Chains A and B, each alone.
Chain A
Amino acid sequence: MTDPVVVTGLGIVSPTGLGTAPYWSATRRGVSGIGPITRFAADGYPARLAGEINGFVAGEHLPGRLLPQTDRMTQLALVAGDWALADAGITPADLPAFDMGVCTASAQGGFEFGQNELRNLWSQGSRYVSAYQSFAWFYAVNSGQLSIRNGMKGPSGVVVSDQAGGLDAVANARRQIRKGTAVMVTGAVDASLCPWGWVAQLASRRLSTSDDPDRAYLPFDERANGHVPGEGGAILVMERASRAVARGAHVYGQVAGYGATFDPAPGSGGQPGLARAIRLALAEADLPPENVDVVFADAAGIPELDQAEADAITEVFGPYGVPVTAPKTMTGRLYSGAAPLDLAAALLAMDEGLIPQTVNVTPAERYRLDLVTDHPRAAQLCSALVLARGYGGFNSAVLLRSGYPQRVAAAR
């Protein structure tokens, strides 16, 4: 454990900004990207708000040949991958192909592409289904396309654990670096803002039916009544600290601890697993709870789930024991893309010494959380904990440490 695994590149595609600078600028100012759905006619559905990415024109970033064979989430992931590698100062063509790998998460695959081809199949016939359907919709597509675009022949992986998967992918990328791969591209992007994806999400009974963008997604608030889905996520570049320092790369921070657990079956009794996941992450990072400077919450926006998360946080850190925030109140929940974006936000927060706020929320006293609301909070942040949970009982936690030690080392 002498050579930590660090993040050296960020590529952000989010409803509040395309690219790190616009995203962070919006986030630290508390600007929300939630609004009425424009991608399709949503008036007939009980939920009508989303965190859409506006102004993304895939053809401005990607070759024409890639467009008909990719879902929107793949186009976003490929562009985020380009940005992350550029940010890391890595030109893949300069490195041995087997030294670079890709591990992404996916929650839902290329659902919009899938809807179009299902429509072709059932309205016109099987001969109208695209030749690209065989891979454009499936869960592995982003890892595959990222490896092809960047010539990366090292270990590849794809994890699917709903929203928790974004952290599981990062942990698996770190595992591959520890086993010897020099550079891993990881993270996740999800985007299922199409009618078929929307109807499937409605079935979770977790979507907010509010029409007021400022009242729709209120985790830890008495008025919480579900979440607003969004699209996007983040792609990260990771490598060993020694390698990053040697080449003079900017180190955002270290992935110092990880824990993943699964809740007991519903109705079976037993303790939910989130507190255990947090403890596993802290134990691996060898960090006592009092040294954790901020928690980026999963923030389900469903009272029972908010309660379970608050219980886990207070169990480990004590009531009001650590600042907690949920910048995803500005983007909506991005499924597997949410946690990688939270990792990016946490790294940027540590860089600046500023905890971004949870917008629109008035925290309910019963949760006993020190929720950062109304304004961002200045704080020296040496560590940050990111939590993510997936539908059915998946719990994952990642503990980040700031990149300051590596920056000092690099300066010497």
Chain B
Amino acid sequence: MTERRVVITGIEVLAPGGAGTKDFWSLLTDGRTATRTITFFDPAPFRSQVAAEIDFDPEQHGLTPQEVRRMDRAAQFAVVAARGAVADSGLVFDNVHEHRTGVAIGSAVGATMSLDQEYRVVSDGGRLHEVDHTYAVPHLYDYLVPSSFAAEVAWAVGAQGPATVISTGCTSGIDSVGYAVELIREGSADVMVAGATDAPISPITMACFDAIKATSPRREQPETASRPFDATRNGFVLGEGTAVFVLEEMESARRRGAHVYAEIAGYATRSNAFHMTGLRPDGKEMAEAIRTALGEARLNPDDIDYINAHGSGTKQNDRHETAAFKDSLGEHAYRIPVSSIKSMVGHSLGAIGAIEIAACALAIEHNVVPPTANLHHPDPECDLDYVPLTAREHRTDAVLTVGSGFGGFQSAMVLTGPGRRP
């Protein structure tokens, strides 16, 4: 049996700073940032008061009033992006069968925003332990089980193949796409509508990251709060958003004449088995994931042209992954651009991995690598080329993107330009 290979034929991104793939790519290549003082609720009681929010009007994006009513914000994002990605791919079910089309949507925290709001109501502001069911909204069960996100996407695009939500914390976006790739390769599906979504900017999320001082407490100049690899970085900035892709088996995509953005050539995930939130400085497990993903892609470290870093902007993370890049790519790590788009769009937990895959596919498409914004004072312990401030024209045939998440998950994915891999 010939090897089944998987390509991206459709992309839609909803990210802070502009809802839509085009606006997203302009933001990145301009090096603009979308972090701001929180507007969704009064941030005054919180240590961290900055986030990357999307100005999102669901009805303007084609959702019906009923869809808006029953879906959490993160599900709304995913449905809008899934429809956009399918439209971008030109896919219709004349070309493929809905039974052979599946769905994999990543999300770290599910319907957190709705659960936070609804809890407040049924508990009467936290007063009731035995919360009052008569105040519950009819769709509370859909918020309880985030698998509803995959169901909504499947309904929206008409998929009837395997469907699931992948929830591996902050690597959910890479892992959901990786899961989808594995299903196509093994023959369980020919097309996967895959990506990730999260809308976590809610008091409970701010409070839990405040409690472990993971988010940046910087309040002045909120647009500069997310500072990956900078010596003055002091935590990540929470974001929200989604990216959804149409993934297809390469030969069938070619047969229907689809535009191919990139091939997903390799993927792996490993665990650090160390700590739910902490990272060892050596990055050994992420390095192992990178090596495995490269092996699956049959590429050498020297073939990689660009690394899209996890780059969350916490002290620990940025050193951890710098070590992992050096461990896995050797001297080559010093020769290639590495950047973190979280400097511009914040850290949208499970969604960001998919948004970063979109950035990688667009970097391949345009031969431009996005910069790391707000990087003015390099940390001596982070001594790679992080593309400070300004995007760079750069021939980009093979890209590595990585993620690191609570639970100890370390994921890596390799994308290559169409036809660039033998």
User: A125-150 interface mask toward B, CB cutoff 8 Å, 1 = contact, 0 = none?
Assistant: 11101110111001111011101101
**Known A144-B169, A148-B274, A262-B163: A156·B409 in contact at CB below 8 Å:** yes
Instruction: Annotate A247-277 by CB proximity to B: 1 below 8 A, 0 otherwise.
Output: 0000000000000111111101010010010
- Nearest CB in chain B to that of A273: its residue: B160
Which of A199-207, A355-363, A398-406 lies at the interface with chain B?
A199-207
Report the count of interface residues on A (CB-CB < 8 A): 89
| Contact of B137 with A by CB under 8 A | yes
* A392 partner, pick from B102, B130, B148, B270, beta carbons under 8 A: B148
A202, B136: Cβ atoms closer than 8 Å: yes
How many Å lie between the Cα of A120 and that of B159 in the bound state? 41
Chain B residues near A108 (CB, 8 Å)?
144-145
Judge if A320 is at the interface, Cβ distance under 8 Å. no
Query: Which residues from chain A contact B172 at a C-beta distance below 8 Å?
Result: 140
User: Range of interface residues on chain B?
Assistant: 35 or more
Q: How far is the CA of A130 from the CA of B204 in the complex (A)?
A: 11
Question: Which residues in A have their C-beta under 8 angstroms from that of B107?
Answer: 160
Interface membership of B91, Cβ < 8 A: no
CB 8 Å contact bits of A89-130 with B (1 = contact, 0 = none): 000000001100110001111010011011111111111011
Report how far A46 CA is from B133 CA in the complex, Å: 9
- Are A134 and B133 in contact, CB atoms less than 8 angstroms apart? no
Q: Chain B contacts of A270 at CB under 8 A?
A: 160
Q: Are B131 and A199 in contact (CB under 8 A)?
A: yes
A213 in contact (CB, < 8 A) = no
Given contacts A138-B406, A394-B163, contact A175 B151 (CB under 8 A): no
Verify if A63 is at the interface (C-beta below 8 Å from B).
no
In the complex, the answer to whether B163 meets A160 with C-beta atoms within 8 Å is no
| Interface contact A160-B165, CB-CB below 8 Å | yes
Which residues of A sit under 8 angstroms from B129, Cβ to Cβ?
A: 40, 119, 195
Whether B120 pairs with A122 at a CB distance below 8 angstroms is yes
Assess whether B288 is interfacial by the CB under 8 Å rule. Answer: yes
Q: Is the CB of A135 within 8 A of B131?
A: no
Q: A331 at interface (Cβ–Cβ under 8 A)?
A: no
- Determine the chain A residues whose CB is within 8 A of the CB of B99 once the complex forms: 261, 273, 276
Q: Is the CB of B407 within 8 A of A141?
A: yes
Determine whether the beta carbon of B207 is less than 8 Å from that of A140: no
Asked whether, in the complex, the Cβ of B211 is within 8 Å of the Cβ of A155, the reply is: no
Query: Total A-B pairs in contact (CB under 8 Å)?
Result: 278
B168 is an interface residue with CB less than 8 A from chain A = yes
Chain B residue with the shortest CB-CB distance to A46:
B133
Asked if B138 lies at the interface with its beta carbon under 8 angstroms from chain A, I say yes
Complex-state Cα separation, A108 to B140, whole angstroms: 12
How far does the alpha carbon of A125 sit from the alpha carbon of B126 in the complex, in Å?
A: 10
When C-beta atoms are compared, the residue in chain A nearest to B144 turns out to be A200
Residue B260 at the A interface, CB < 8 A? no
A353 contacts partner chain B, Cβ-Cβ < 8 Å: no
CA distance A172 to B136 in the complex (A): 35
B130–A195 touching, CB < 8 Å: yes
Which residue of the partner chain, among B126, B141, B272, contacts A119 with CB atoms under 8 Å? Answer: B126
Bound Cα distance from A348 to B6, whole angstroms: 40
A201 vs B206: C-alpha distance when bound (angstroms): 26
Chain B residue nearest in CB terms to A175? B182
Does B405 count as interface, using CB distance less than 8 angstroms? yes
A selection of 28 A-B contacts at a CB cut-off of 8 Å is: A98-B270, A121-B204, A124-B126, A126-B45, A134-B208, A139-B110, A140-B108, A140-B406, A144-B407, A147-B273, A147-B408, A153-B273, A155-B268, A156-B408, A158-B168, A160-B150, A160-B167, A161-B150, A162-B145, A195-B129, A199-B122, A200-B136, A200-B141, A265-B154, A268-B158, A391-B148, A391-B151, A394-B147
